[in-house]
Chain A
């Protein structure tokens, strides 16, 4: 097999030597099966939409599935590095999965573009994490917007219900800190599992603390259950959600009971309401339309995170190609440097401005305050 491939590449190499032809290989690891599949499926589906040609270089994507299993992510990353000799890797889908592979990507000197929620993959920055770039808004950015809205609405006390996983943990930490700075007190902190069939007890505990508002932090549709429970228990205060709830299924499952929810997320939910002057509007609209045409459904935001990784690479590849040939360590190192130099690049999620210290690079153009009104996402102006 190996020998055959060697011969094949030798022949191809001989045929094209001299011609301005070369290929960039990019590995994509997504969790399109297993518990994180709701995140991984739109990500895998976004791969065929990503740029296949940059300048005179063709880009080839090698998609792998890790079944939501962190061990399988490591195996997939190692395989991509040693067998496929990829120039960069997009993925994996889950936060724990991404945390586990950073070391291997850094050792091999391959840039890793992680479309995951947790800021821990790029913060605090160190020798290993400098190889990692994150294509999602940091929790902090979203929390800032939510706390700002709470402060403007005169909310003084907040109850918190989050999942007992890294997503919920990090939100509890970040939110408590930011809210504290604005003088908002977190009066109850409760946890639940994605698979729980009831969160009645947690709801009661929060109700007993009588908060002005409740923040629910859960990735994907599990965010619905606590909100419905609170509604059924007669809670009528404001309910806030994180960008984890920013998907069409949230509205479908929640129905009338999630009316009035406030959340902050990328502009993808409210594309048609965003001003045309927003630098991301056209890119995001094109992406959503292309995705809908190919897969017959609108993509969840998670797909946009992977698509953005493709755009970041497209932006960085020309600079890297000037310094080395694809497939060499020099190219990969130059690619990393070029990614870090990304300036004012609009993509589907917002505008990226990378620096040596900030490998997520979003500013307030990467989030919008959104409310659920008449069963639809509505931009809060």
Chain B
């Protein structure tokens, strides 16, 4: 194989690996804090990308109505107890975030000339539509069963995934979409031509990972999440609300997912069900990190990206087989190397 070809494959692997790394981090985070194996992570990728595509086509994104619907449901679920307990202030807060925000956003989107907006504003609006669904989802389906065994949480995740894929088809239709690139610039590095979009993806991924690191190391909320991940009961005794930790985690996961979607939409065609496979590869990376270690998960993601890139070069028909078979030796190595811990019931 010629050297420039290898370089291009490495570059392709890094681009995809960066996305897998982001998703792997989100999966590890969600699992560490809430013990949920977050299968719908991939749907946020597709929702993010397709919502942006709809905004750019100048139509009101259909996901907006899901946001309004979920918000109304949360208002009922959280508002009724507050009403009964006679706490109008809390009721107001709940309604503000879950009713006023989605409706306000809908009014804003309806008023704005969507097509003519700068791309960054469109991205921000797409994120504003999709990301709040994360905490809403946690409130509605995971919080009521927060202390259930991992297996039940997993089954609920599968159900949520299927529901979101079905809604995705309803919202976006069966055809795929692409969005224009953030940058058409091409960086010429001798034998290698690096497209601007690749640089954007890698730069945003690295920046996001650095920001997450700062968040967990420096801020109170970040520390609270870390404490919850380390010891749920202990954190609770220290006054950290598990439901707040859950919502915050899902907010981050939805943000990372939707942002990944926005990043890949210019380089590939995104379908309503594309996200699942992408998140599954992130999941392989997270498994390499033992669903617990962030740096190992990130390394695993780069490994998956490279493996995918080179296997599609040499044996494109067996690419997925090769990537997903990677999980077997990793699991074998992990189970031989680590002490088995019974899950607390």
Could you mark each residue 198-225 of chain A with 1 if its beta carbon is under 8 Å from any beta carbon of chain B, else 0?
A: 1111101100100000000000111011
Interface segment among A5-13, A32-40, A111-119: the answer is A32-40
In the bound complex, residues from chain B placing their C-beta under 8 Å from that of A194 are 271
Do residues A38 and B174 form an inter-chain contact, with CB atoms below 8 A? yes
A140 close to chain B: CB less than 8 A: no
Q: Which residue of A lies closest to B264 (CB)?
A: A197
Do residues A196 and B175 form an inter-chain contact, with CB atoms below 8 A? no
Shortest distance between the CB of B93 and any CB in chain A (Å): 38
Do residues B274 and A249 form an inter-chain contact, with CB atoms below 8 A? no
Do residues A204 and B9 form an inter-chain contact, with CB atoms below 8 A? yes
A232 close to chain B: CB less than 8 A: yes
Do residues B313 and A198 form an inter-chain contact, with CB atoms below 8 A? no
In the bound complex, residues from chain B placing their C-beta under 8 Å from that of A358 are none
Do residues A232 and B5 form an inter-chain contact, with CB atoms below 8 A? no
How far apart are the CA atoms of A164 and B320 in the complex, in Å? 11
Do residues B5 and A204 form an inter-chain contact, with CB atoms below 8 A? yes
A192 close to chain B: CB less than 8 A: yes
Query: A198 is contacted by which of B5, B175, B267 (Cβ under 8 Å)?
Result: B267
B269 close to chain A: CB less than 8 A: yes
In the bound complex, residues from chain B placing their C-beta under 8 Å from that of A153 are none
In the bound complex, residues from chain B placing their C-beta under 8 Å from that of A200 are 8-9, 12, 309, 312
Do residues A33 and B9 form an inter-chain contact, with CB atoms below 8 A? no
Q: Which residue of A lies closest to B310 (CB)?
A: A201
Do residues A199 and B277 form an inter-chain contact, with CB atoms below 8 A? no
Do residues B271 and A201 form an inter-chain contact, with CB atoms below 8 A? no
A41 close to chain B: CB less than 8 A: yes
B81 close to chain A: CB less than 8 A: no
How far apart are the CA atoms of A231 and B315 in the complex, in Å? 22
Q: Which residue of A lies closest to B57 (CB)?
A: A252
Query: A222 is contacted by which of B166, B269, B277 (Cβ under 8 Å)?
Result: B269
Shortest distance between the CB of B27 and any CB in chain A (Å): 17
A283 close to chain B: CB less than 8 A: no
Do residues A191 and B175 form an inter-chain contact, with CB atoms below 8 A? no
Q: B interface vs A, CB < 8 Å?
A: 2, 5, 8-9, 12, 15-16, 19, 166, 169, 173-178, 195, 264, 267-269, 271, 273-274, 276-278, 309-310, 312-313, 316-317, 319-320
Q: A191-B317, A199-B312 are in contact. List 5 more A-B contacts (CB 8 A).
A: A33-B169, A195-B273, A198-B15, A224-B176, A232-B195
Q: List 23 A-B contacts (CB under 8 A).
A: A33-B166, A164-B316, A191-B316, A191-B319, A192-B312, A193-B319, A195-B273, A195-B278, A196-B319, A198-B16, A198-B268, A200-B12, A202-B312, A202-B316, A204-B5, A204-B8, A204-B9, A204-B313, A221-B176, A224-B178, A224-B269, A249-B176, A253-B177
